[in-house]
Amino acid sequence: MPSNFYHLIAFAISALIVLLSTPVVKQIGLQSGRVDLPGGRKVHSQPMVRLGGVSIYLGTLAALLVVWGIGGFIDAGGDALSPRAEYEIWGVTVGGLAFFLIGLMDDLFGLSAISRLLMQMVVAALAWNVGVSIEFLSVPGLGLVSLPLWISLPVTVIWLVGMANAINWIDGLDGLAAGVSGIAAVVMLIVSLFMAQPAAALVAAALAGGALGFLRYNFNPAQIFMGDGGAYFMGFTLAGVGIIGLVKGVTAGAVLLPYLILAVPIVDMSTVIINRLRTGSSPFVADKRHLHHRLLEAGLSQRVTVLFIYVLTLWVGSLALLFAGMPSGIVYALAATALLSYTSWHIRKLCR
């Protein structure tokens, strides 16, 4: 069987399981009273089940297990992965489970921000220990710099924990986090295949199927939320795939690709933290300074806001395809730039 066919299978299985299991999860959540109540900075007007991350995780895991059972994880040459590469894949998979469970515990019982952060840091450090590690950084003027272990560890932990929380922070509108994560996962799938990293691409394919399948129930008007469990799982997995599928390319361009693909949640989170610190607020206290809140305040509807942020994510993703050196990257970048320009023009008209 062609290796790329495995990725299609993983995407389809994950999406199908999410489509079938989400209504069941929703019903269980309603019966047990596990709902997110409206009020405060929240934009929904009725109680919503926030356990959709269960479906996303089950779909992604099942897809990986099925493909692994069919043919195992293979390298670009069609051979079995090296032991280290398998450790990396399972490091992302098991680490994703741990992040999902941390978020699920918060969804069900409520955890303090500090306790969540500490648990996430421990899991990220364990993932680093099995090979999900950032070993190089691209430094202006110096090029590609190899990191000693004492720097690699905190850099990796900050990346894994930061991305998990960045995806959670943008999960403020119907379909926003799922759509952004799904688009980013598709771009990572394409780039990983181009860079001859089919095993990492497989994880990206399974995650993309789960995230985009979840939009059937999560796009405005949403029927269910993914909760912290889903957001933490998708954020960690995207960050992990970025490490094992892209950063491992050991070129200055490859090192920058994950940060470019995930630029929208990264910039949003960084801007919010800086603004909170500048005003003397705690960086952990939620407010309405995110990009989606600002667009809503400018007069855009939920759907238009979410679709605009989708376009932004597509645009930076197209730049990543160009930056990766794909022959057709310039075509995708020009098309995405034209779409972004049209969307921005249309939004300016709406905000007048």
Residue with tokens 């894949």: 89
Asked if pLDDT for residue 249 goes beyond 60, the answer is no
Transcribe 36-89 into DSSP letters. EPP-TT---SS-EE--THHHHHHHHHHHHHHHHHHH--B-TTSSBPPHHHHHHH
Going by pLDDT thresholds of 50, 70 and 90, the confidence category of residue 352 is low
Give pTM, 2 decimals: 0.93
pLDDT at site 154: 96
- Residue 3 reports pLDDT greater than 70: no
**What kind and span of H or E run contains 144?**
strand 143-146
Mean pLDDT computed over 160-185: 96
**pLDDT (tens digit per residue) in 17-54:** 999 999 999 999 988 877 777 655 555 557 789 999 99
Q: What is the pLDDT of residues 5-18, one digit of tens each?
A: 889 999 999 999 99
At 208 the three-state DSSP class reads helix
Q: What share of the chain is helix, strand, coil (3-state, %, to 5)?
A: 70, 5, 25
Strand ranges, E, within 171-251: none
> What is the predicted pLDDT for the residue at 283?
80
What amino acid occupies position 52? Answer: G
Which pLDDT score, from 0 to 100, does residue 335 have?
95
**Joined tokens for residue 196:** 């001859």
